[in-house]
């Protein structure tokens, strides 16, 4: 878990060097597949390698908050994961991990989390203790 910068920003890349690793989980497989699909599509149309991060800004912000919560208070990690597992079906959890969550699923995840630690982490990030989004 963590935020990984491109190893070499001079090169297009997939996987870790292409921003495919999900900061909150370390999961990358389906995101690498999305990058490969993007490469195939762009090479057919413009004959140039094009790879972008498969994560939305919203997902990356939410991941930063999640990681901040775990860094501030690692002892609540079991509670967080238990709540998530108890509130999501297996299909919902798979959609969430693979970046296919819709707004309704995100709300379900957010409402399952303990509010105070997440609010504290959000305010810490917003006030600039971790300004790197």
**What is the span of the domain harbouring residue 102?**
57-126
End-to-end Cα, the chain, rounded Å: 15
The model's pLDDT over 68-87, given as tens digits with 9 standing for 90+, comes to 999 999 999 999 989 988 99
| Domain annotation covers residue 131 | no
Residue with token string 């970046």? 99
68 shares its domain with 119: yes
User: pLDDT value at position 43?
Assistant: 79
**Using an 8 Å Cβ cutoff, are 66 and 24 in contact?**
yes
35 shares its domain with 50: yes
68 shares its domain with 82: yes
44 shares its domain with 63: no
pTM: predicted TM-score of the whole model, two decimal places: 0.75
91 shares its domain with 107: yes
71 shares its domain with 116: yes
Tell me the average pLDDT of the chain: 85
Domain end: 31, 54, 77, which one?
Answer: 54
């Amino acid at each position: 878990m963590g935020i990984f910068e491109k190893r070499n920003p001079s090169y297009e890349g997939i996987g870790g060097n292409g921003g495919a690793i999900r900061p909150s989980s370390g999961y990358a497989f389906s995101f690498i597949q999305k990058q490969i699909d993007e490469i195939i599509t762009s090479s057919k149309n413009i004959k140039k390698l094009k790879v972008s991060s498969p994560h939305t800004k919203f997902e990356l912000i939410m991941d930063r908050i999640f990681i901040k919560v775990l860094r501030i208070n690692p002892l609540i990690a079991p509670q967080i994961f238990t709540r998530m597992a108890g509130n999501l079906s297996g299909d919902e959890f798979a959609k969430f991990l693979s970046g296919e969550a819709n707004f309704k699923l995100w709300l379900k995840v957010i409402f399952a989390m303990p509010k105070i630690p997440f609010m504290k982490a959000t305010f810490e990030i917003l006030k600039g203790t971790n300004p790197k989004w």
